[in-house]
Structures are given as structure tokens and as C-alpha cells.
Amino acid sequence: MGNTLQILITAGGTSERIDNVRRITNSGTGALGAKIAEAFAAADRDCRITYICSASAIRPPGNVSVICADDIDSVAEAVKRACTETRFDIIIHSMAIGDYKVRAVSDTSLATAGVIERLSVLACGDSQSPEEAIQDVLLSPAGITDAKISSDKEDLLIVLEKAPKIIALYRGLAPDATIIGFKLLSDASEEELVSAGLALLKKNDCDFVLANDMKTVRSDMHEGLLIKKDGTYERATGKDNIAKLVVKASLN
């Protein structure tokens, strides 16, 4: 590493647009990411921090380069651009990235009409099976494209599709960086947390993964397990201590 450490931190949560007013979001606040940035700033090293976060995320004080990105696609673009422009020494991917993106927004009347139309085509000799035809309509229904969907509608059908994992990008973009990923579960045992965190680490070639559980994230007793490549781990309680543990591990 050079004299100045280039550090990339992602923080906050993502949200996916339903229309120009409504969005599907998660509970990521950026609180831990901001604490980690503060811990790096307090370390006895010259650190230059790039902070990719959602517009509503908590931001650290001080001289930090902030890049706002709210949905999964814009976060991916921001990460790729930042890694192209800067050779990062350390990457902390604490942002709560959604697992799914909005594929289509429809309603039951549009979907029903689509199913009827497809079945009528089948009756005329289309080779597709009824199951495949109905699945096609359900996955890609005629969409509602209004800038703001009318609140008079009795129902909405929101089709979600699996989103690509941004954590999978980092090793290819920054082959020499120390990469710390994050894994969040809910009501999991310690054994389950360690197993899931280690699986994420190995799959994405991370150096560490911080595994935590939603039941502690919202409390003052937020607990994190920092998992190493050999499966061993260190524990920290409280966001300040978790941040210090992450910084200590990444600087060693």
C-alpha cells in the first residue's frame, strides 16, 4: 500500500422505483458505514475515503468524497466508475443492497387480459405449453407506465427479479484490495451467522466478512462477527466497536 490509503465504503440501503412517487426500500441507514469512515479518519494513517451511499444515508463528518446512488443499478455503476478512476487499497461493502429489482408493475385486470390473450394464441396452434405461456405473462405482464399510479386502483401486481450481487464485482475491479463484505441475517444462531458469512467470503473472494443479525442491529447491543478466511472470527458489540474492529483488521 502507498502512503495514502485509498478507501471505498458503501453505506445505507437501496430502493427500487415503483413509479415516480413510490419505492420499495429496506432498512439500511448507513449508521455503521459512517462509523467505519470515522474510525478510518481517526486511525494513525493518511486515508482518503470515497463514500457511496443512498441519498438518505447517514454520512460521516470530515473530508469524505460522497457519491449518491439509490437503486441497485446506480450503485453498481458508481462502484465500477469509482474503481476505474481510483486504485483502492481497502473496500468496505456495508451497504444493504436489495436482493431484487422491480421488473414490472401491473394489476390483475391487465394480467388477466394477458393470460386470456396468450391462451387464445395457444388455441390457434402455438407450440408453447399453457404453463409456459401463463408464466411468461405473470413474469412480464402488460405494465403500468403512469408517472404516478392512481391510488384508485384496487390492486397492484409488482413483479420482482433477482438482482446481480454487487459484492461479486469487487475482486475483478480491485484484485489487490483488502475487501470486507457484510452479511445480514434475521433470528439466526451464531453457527448460522458464521456459516453464511464464510460462504459469502469464499464465493466472492473477500478477505473478511462482518456477519450480523437484524435482532441486534436495531439495538444498542448491535453485535458483529468478523469472519476470516480460515473460519475463525472476532466479536464486537456496539457500532463504535464494530467499526474499530473492521478498521483494525483491514489495516493489518
Do 193 and 74 share a structural domain?
yes
Domain end: 110, 131, 161, which one? 161
Residue 21 burial by Cβ neighbours in a 10 Å radius (0-12, 13-18, 19+): exposed
Do 119 and 69 share a structural domain?
no
CATH of the domain at 244: 3.40.50.10300
User: Can you give the pTM of this predicted structure?
Assistant: 0.92
Q: What is the domain extent for residue 157?
A: 102-161
Do 182 and 69 share a structural domain?
yes
Do 170 and 79 share a structural domain?
yes
* Number of structural domains the chain divides into: 2
Q: How far apart are CA 219 and CA 215, in angstroms?
A: 8
| Strand ranges, E, within 13-172 | 15-17, 23-25, 46-53, 65-68, 90-93, 100-106, 157-162
Phi–psi pair at 133, nearest 5 degrees = -65, -45
Taking only the tens place, the pLDDT of each residue in 164-219 is: 999 999 999 999 999 999 999 999 999 999 999 999 999 999 999 999 999 998 77
Do 177 and 56 share a structural domain?
yes
**3-class SS of residue 100:** strand
Do 94 and 110 share a structural domain?
no
Taking only the tens place, the pLDDT of each residue in 204-242 is: 999 999 999 999 987 778 999 999 999 999 999 999 999
| Strand ranges, E, within 64-191 | 65-68, 90-93, 100-106, 157-162, 178-185
Do 68 and 179 share a structural domain?
yes
Do 217 and 182 share a structural domain?
yes
pLDDT in the model for residue 221: 86
Q: How far apart are CA 150 and CA 32, in angstroms?
A: 37
Q: How many residues does the chain have?
A: 252
Do 84 and 174 share a structural domain?
yes
Taking only the tens place, the pLDDT of each residue in 16-55 is: 999 999 999 998 999 999 999 999 999 989 999 999 999 9
Do 179 and 131 share a structural domain?
no
